[in-house]
């Protein structure tokens, strides 16, 4: 499996374009899920560290844009600040794991996370959490989500499930989750640089990845409006299952 990525490698640019296009279509159709698709696609071709690093810049820019767009949404500011702070702490710990643990173990965790995500979607698991309960659980959930984000680049099974369970309205949800992800990226970027995970080429490819993402999201919105959400969801889950099997095969 490839351990490096470069802007001079046309296959690298094609791989990133495919990953961001597929992830962008999912995000456009459902409102979330960009890393859930993009990171495993890249991890099936490159080292998992490369896959996680490439996503940092697109995640940071796209989430800062969402924070600005929904900045006036009514949210519990204390809750949001605590979630962002502990997520940033967790992502630092997760990046340490990514840097120090053998990629094969990190890849194993990614397979488990994808499997959990597929299971949650197939069972249509719905968790309901009151706001008072959410305040009590915000620290452990935020730290756990941050660790997963730093180590494998995917925290949706924990963080997004938790925030969905609070039943926030759409603007408040987007502002809360975008602040959480933006805060993690702000910490993730320098920590990855310090460990040599984030390189100049990786950061530049992350910037270039915004191009296919920008074009893919409207396509996803069109698909979401034209086709059955259930059918689209099953296609995505089938695709993710294939990626998980590919990653599992690579381990052996």
pLDDT for 168-185, tens place per residue? 887 888 889 889 999 999
- 3-class secondary structure, 74: coil
Instruction: Give the model confidence (pLDDT) of 87-115 as tens digits.
Output: 999 999 999 999 998 888 888 888 888 88
Domain ranges of the chain: 10-251
CA distances from 45 to 1, 31, 76, 212 (A): 6, 26, 41, 18
pLDDT higher than threshold 60 for residue 24: yes
The Cα 173–Cα 169 span in angstroms is 6
Residues 6 or more apart from 181 whose CB is under 8 A from it? Answer: 59, 63, 87, 149
φ, ψ of residue 146 to 5 degrees: the values are -65, -40
Whole-model pTM: value is 0.84
Average pLDDT over residues 50-64: 88
Distance between CA atoms of 98 and 14, rounded to whole angstroms? 25
Q: Where does 77-228 have alpha helices with state H?
A: 77-100, 103-123, 131-152, 159-165, 170-195, 200-208, 210-226
């Amino acid at each position: 499996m490839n351990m490096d990525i470069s802007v001079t490698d046309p296959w690298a640019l094609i791989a990133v374009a495919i990953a961001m296009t597929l992830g962008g279509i999912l995000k456009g159709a459902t409102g979330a899920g960009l890393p859930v698709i993009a990171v495993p696609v890249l991890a099936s071709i490159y080292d998992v560290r490369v896959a996680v690093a490439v996503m940092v810049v697109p995640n940071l820019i796209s989430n800062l844009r969402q924070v600005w767009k929904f900045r006036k949404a009514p949210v519990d500011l204390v809750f949001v600040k605590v979630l962002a702070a502990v997520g940033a702490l967790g992502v630092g710990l997760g990046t340490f794991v990514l840097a120090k643990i053998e990629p094969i173990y990190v890849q194993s965790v990614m397979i488990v996370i994808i499997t959990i995500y597929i299971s949650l979607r197939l069972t249509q698991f719905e968790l309901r959490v009151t706001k008072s309960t959410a305040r009590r659980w915000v620290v452990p959930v935020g730290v756990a989500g941050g660790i997963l984000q730093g180590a494998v680049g995917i925290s949706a099974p924990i963080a997004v499930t938790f925030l969905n369970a609070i039943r926030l309205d759409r603007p408040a949800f987007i502002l809360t989750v975008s602040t959480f992800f933006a805060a993690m990226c702000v910490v993730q970027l320098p920590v990855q640089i310090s460990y040599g995970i984030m390189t100049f080429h990786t950061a530049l490819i992350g910037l270039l990845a915004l191009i296919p993402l920008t074009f893919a999201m409207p396509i996803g919105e069109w698909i979401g409006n034209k086709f059955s959400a259930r059918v689209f969801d099953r296609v995505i889950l089938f695709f993710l299952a294939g990626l998980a099997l590919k990653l599992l095969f690579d381990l052996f």
